[in-house]
Amino acid sequence: MAAGSFRRSIASQLSKVLNLPPENLIKSISAVPVSKKRHVADFQFSIASIIENSSGDCSAQDLHLQAQQLAERLQCDSVVSAISAGPGTVNFTINRELLAKTVLQQVWKDGSEYGVKSELFSTVPRQKAVVEFSSPNIAKKFHIGHLRSTIVGNFIANLKAVLGHEVVRINYLGDWGMQFGLLGVGFQSFGNKEKLKSSPLQHLFEVYVQINKAAEDENTKKLAKDFFRKLEERDEQALSIWQQFRDLSIEEYIRIYKRLGVHFDEYSGESFYQEKAQEVLKMLEDKGLLQKTIQGTGVVDLSEKKDLSAVSTVMRSDGTSLYITRDLAAAIDRMNKHSWDTMIYVTDKSQSNHFQHLFQILKLMGYDWAERCQHVSFGLVQGMKTRRGEVVFLEDVLNEVRSRMLQNMTSTKTSKETQDPVETAEKVGLAALIIQDFRGLLSSDYQFSWERALQSRGDTGVFLQYTHARLHSLEQMHGNAELTDVNVSCLQEPDAISVLQHLLRYDEVLHRSSQDLQPKHIVSYLLTLSHLAAVAHKTLPVKGSAPAVAQARLCLFHATRSVLANGMKLLGITPVNQM
């Protein structure tokens, strides 16, 4: 990794002066973010990192003094061309030609693995990760509320996979429960087999709305209870209706997932764990963890003093299981089946309590691996409306973003060249949705705005796509760059250096996202890269430049496009080549 070789070189010089092993110093050497002020160094070493174990707190003045003293003891060499002290840091500037040569070679050589092969990841063991995400309720149209879980889970799975971990993507469907009793009765009364085949989820939604009007009626309630009991008892006719609902729902979901560029290794669901949930209740009883309340429900005591001040209900009074019981059964089953190292659940933050209880109960049952379970939670999206009003279904949003994007593209001069404008509008529109969603902390709620999401300038997904397409057409126009004969002395302008410095930081950004599973670090990095590329595109023309200069610039733009595409794919965006 480009940054890696420079970090090692700086660490080895520091280690001689500080008398510390270089590997202890590497993690305290970081690439300096590009500044609009331009003349920033390439790397900085934090003084606080070597004195944090010594006496007390150091004042800013002390740190600055120590940085100055250390800087004076270091010397420039063939790698480092300048050393200076900053507030609590020692700053290193890399030999400019070496910087250009190393970065371009590394991006070229590593391709889609650029940044991933960094020594920042060398100590991270390769693991098996199970990621459960999306998880809509079958027999209902794909609700907009499941969009965040789908794109966040997809990002986490992509990131884990790119970093060399084995990933199992699970879609845990809401496919069991009393609502299927109601839907079964509704279908017997209002169902139409032809409509079910042609647009299953729309038809089931209509049936559900109709039967819900009658849901207060005692007779309907009884029929729904009876139907669900038949399901629980594995009655053939009831099961075949339910199975049809499930199969048709999954078919329609797969079509929508394809539009989102998302796939799953396993479609699971609550229905799989009916019997296993009963086994879990028996295990809880055998371990003395299941307690009965006066109402006859089964609870697990989670209080520290064991005084029932905090409990989790795991069984109804009639002995049937609840959602959490089925989740317990699913977690145990997945461990038996996949022997995973980490399991990540991606849902909205309203379920935080549920997962706290789930992990606590697993621990009480003696499963130490519960500590390796993680809940990645996210906030709510507000104000997502289509032109027709408040939006409920994801497909309406996907259609809306595509049609708005198509309209925007048609009104600009360039889009006439696009081979498949509808397909392009779909990909650019999805980028707009994803970037607007990923810009902040996942746990924050945010206000959705079409105007903001679809701007072609500014910090949007449209701008990332536009930058990628523009760089691609530059390569198409001037032929592909060849790295072999690049004269790096032609890349010394400040705007070229800024791009190179930014490319240098990519591994640190990936590392940060891998630590906290937040996509915002990568989003922010790619937006800055696109802004730097836009400036460089203006000030460093390829057309009309001397051949050596043109070739060097073409290489720089190729490297930029390559890293931009890698980052976009990680986020779940398909880069477009024309728009």
The H or E element spanning position 130 is strand 128-132
The Cα 403–Cα 399 span in angstroms is: 6
The Cα 364–Cα 328 span in angstroms is: 12
Write down the catalytic residue from 16, 109, 143, 197: 143
Quick check: 367 and 329 in contact, CB under 8 A?
no
The Cα 370–Cα 360 span in angstroms is: 8
Angle between the 200-213 and 178-190 helix axes, to the nearest 10 degrees? 100
The Cα 399–Cα 527 span in angstroms is: 26
The Cα 165–Cα 129 span in angstroms is: 7
Residue 140: active-site member: yes
Residue 143: active-site member: yes
Write down the catalytic residue from 101, 141, 146, 427: 146
Quick check: 164 and 378 in contact, CB under 8 A?
no
Write down the catalytic residue from 101, 140, 427, 502: 140
CA neighbor of 139 nearest in space, from 271, 272, 246: 246
**How is 260-289 classified by DSSP, letter by letter?**
HT---SEEEEGGGGHHHHHHHHHHHHHTT-
Question: What are the helix and strand counts (H, E) for the chain?
Answer: 22, 16
Say how many residues make up the chain: 579
Q: Residues 22-29: contacts with CB within 8 Å, 24+ apart?
A: 25/49, 25/50, 26/119, 27/120
Quick check: 415 and 409 in contact, CB under 8 A?
yes
What token pair was written down for 5? 């070789």
Residues 6+ apart with CB under 8 A from 63: 47, 48, 87, 88
Residue 416: active-site member: no
Pairing relationship of beta strands 89-94 and 43-46 according to DSSP bridges = antiparallel
For 378, phi and psi rounded to 5 degrees? -140, 160
Quick check: 324 and 356 in contact, CB under 8 A?
no
Give the residue numbers marked as catalytic. 140, 143, 146
